[in-house]
Chain A
């Protein structure tokens, strides 16, 4: 359940970015290689948001895919977790270029603030 402490960090980022404004929505980007469970992240949000400026806010979660770059043939490819072979040349040592993120992409605040 490390999702609780990670959501707590995301909420701190959101509150700092809102700078006193109430938060209407948080957009969180989660990669499958981040090691977090999205349901647990949502649960953590429900548990932690009350009493903060994000109380009642919408939590939008954008799931990304592992993105790899093949150092041998130069191909960039998306792949499921656990399958990393380059579809072009079969090399298995692709460099990870995405899919391990767990970040607060943006927040929405009321326009009049």
Chain B
């Protein structure tokens, strides 16, 4: 039994209970039966929110600052983290993918701890998965934890993981109007990172158009531009992390 949520680990969420109160085909007999309305007012994300709050408390107790990295697949989250973990002491990563340990293996080459979450078919990380990954994390001496979410600009937006800051990546190869197409995930960004700027000229990236789209959909976010490959703009990113 896990101590964060009471689930049996492995994740056997089999909440089966018999549904044997047969109520037959009585929903269409001409005059509707009298009903009464019971107020409920409960969020679909209530459990996730509770576990996210627990994660937040754990992070605070360990003195960790935690960043949730979100983007589409292939916009450079892992490459960004490879370089960041090489340059930044006392940092670790949790990385989510549907399958394979590939990203964690890549990140461990930096010398930092990296814990892989394989979600199977699930399109996002939730606070529960992160809570279990934290059981494997040696937090002693750590200051910074990056959570690389599953590459997806839709579903991860809904799940608080307990992080301090949300970072959304947009690579120059993706199209400048992507924030307008996926506004929900940009809305809650603290930082939007434009990545792969070494490729900007090659792909005809329209910087002003991208900046306008980000400002419109993420009015509170800071915007930085970098290339994790060449290192251009990287100092501003590490300064933002330090600040």
Q: Which residues of A contact B (CB under 8 A)?
A: 1-2, 5-7, 9-10, 12-14, 17-18, 20, 22, 24-25, 27, 32-36, 51-53, 56, 81-85, 92-94, 96, 101-112
Contacts and interface: CB of A to CB of B under 8 A. Distances in A.
A82 B45 contact: no
A82 B180 contact: yes
- Sort A-B residue pairs by CB-CB distance and give the 6 closest, nearest first: A92-B219, A111-B34, A82-B183, A2-B155, A6-B44, A108-B35
B36 A1 contact: no
B34 A104 contact: no
A95 B157 CA distance: 17
A9 B35 contact: no
27 contacts: A1-B155, A6-B44, A9-B44, A9-B45, A12-B15, A13-B40, A14-B40, A17-B40, A18-B38, A24-B27, A27-B37, A35-B155, A35-B184, A53-B19, A56-B23, A84-B187, A93-B219, A96-B187, A101-B43, A102-B45, A103-B42, A105-B40, A105-B41, A106-B38, A108-B37, A109-B35, A112-B34
Contacts of B44: 6-7, 9-10, 13, 102-104
Contacts of B21: 20, 22, 53
